Amino acid sequence: MGGMVHKKDPYGSYCADMIKQLCEKYPKNFWADPHEFFTGKRSSLKKPPLTPKLDGTLLNAGCDFGLMPSLFEPGGIVQHEFFIGSTPVIAFQTGGLKDTVFDFDVETNKGNGFLFNKHDVAGFVSAVEKAYQIFNIPEKYEILRKNAFESTIDLDDVAKAWNKEFYGLANKLFFEPKALLPYIDKIDHNFKANELEDKYTLERVAVTELEPEEKGPAIKYKGKELRYKDRVKWTTFTYRNQGSGKPKSVLLVGTFNDWKEPIALKYSREKDVWEVKMQLKAGEY
C-alpha cells in the first residue's frame, strides 16, 4: 500500500495507525510505506527485520489484484499504475474508476477488473469473491491480466484531452506544438504584417432616425460628454458582413465627432448585424 495521509484527516490517520499495526504484526504478509512505494528507497522509519526492499512499480506488478474501494475518486491514477503492471483492479463504481475499470466477462473475455456498486463490506467482499473465482481459472486469469495491461492510458493522451477541454472553454482550438516542428523552417519571417491582415467588407443596411427631441441628454462616450444645445435625434447605424468571416470588432467614426474617438458597434447574433444607437444633433453627417 502507498499514499500519504493528511494529519488533519481523522479517518485517514486512523487507517494509517491500523496499517502500521498490521505491518508490525504481519511483517511477511503486510507492507506499507509511502516513501519507499514511490521512490524505491528505504525511509528513516524503523523496519521489522524481515521487511524486504520494495518499490511501487514492482509491488503493483507482483499483485494478484489491486484493491481500490474508494468512496470518491474524481479521476484516479492508481488503477492505471496497476494496469501498467498487468494487475486487474477491484474497485467501487464511482468517478473515474467506473470509467476505466470494467467487469470481466467469462463468456466474452472482456473486462479488466471487478466493480461493486454498493459501498459496504458485503459489496466489497462479493467483488473479491468474483475475482477469486477467476483467479482459480488460470487461462481466464491470464486473459484478465492481459486486458488490464492493454487498458493502460498514456498520460500524454490524457494531458492533450484536458488541454482540448480548457482551450474549448475559451472558444479556441488546441494543437500540439510538436506538430509544428516539421514546418518551422519553412515559415517566411520576412513579411509585412499589415499586408497579411484579414480584409472584411461591411454593407450598410440602414441608418434609422427618429423624430428630434427638444433638449436631448448629453452623449457620453469613453467618459467624455458631447453636449448639444440644439435638438437631437436618435440614430441607429446598422451594418452586415459581406462574404465569409467576421471581424473581431467594428468601429464607427464620422463628421458627427470630427472623425475622432471611434465608437464601437455591437454585434447581434440574432440578426447577424453590427449596430450602434446614438443621439446626434439634428443635421446631415
> Domains along the chain?
55-155 (3.40.50.2000), 201-281 (no CATH)
Question: Does the pLDDT at position 127 exceed 90?
Answer: yes
The pLDDT assigned to 216 comes to 46
The strand pairing partners of 202, in sequence order, are: 241
Mean pLDDT for 112-118 is 95
User: Of how many residues is the chain composed?
Assistant: 285
For the entire predicted model, the pTM comes to 0.52
The pLDDT assigned to 50 comes to 44
CA 127/CA 140 separation, integer angstroms: 16
Pairing of strands 266-268, 273-281: antiparallel
The pLDDT assigned to 49 comes to 45
Calculate the average pLDDT of the chain. Answer: 79
Helix, strand, coil content of the chain in percent (nearest 5): 35, 20, 45
Residue bearing the bigger pLDDT, 146 or 163: 146
* Residue (of 62, 39, 42) closest to 53 by Cα position: 42
> Which residue intervals of the chain are DSSP H helices?
10-25, 34-39, 56-62, 78-84, 95-100, 121-135, 138-150, 155-169, 181-184
Tell me the three cell numbers of residue 202. 461591411
What does the DSSP assignment read for 131-168? Answer: HHHHHTSHHHHHHHHHHHHHT---HHHHHHHHHHHHHH
The pLDDT assigned to 91 comes to 95
Question: Does the pLDDT at position 11 exceed 70?
Answer: yes
Mean pLDDT for 86-92 is 95
The pLDDT assigned to 43 comes to 55
Question: Does the pLDDT at position 212 exceed 80?
Answer: no
Least confident among 130-139, 156-165, 184-193, 223-232? 223-232
The pLDDT assigned to 258 comes to 82
CA 104/CA 217 separation, integer angstroms: 75
Q: What is the dihedral of CA 152, 155, 156, 158, to 10 degrees?
A: 90
Question: Does the pLDDT at position 80 exceed 60?
Answer: yes
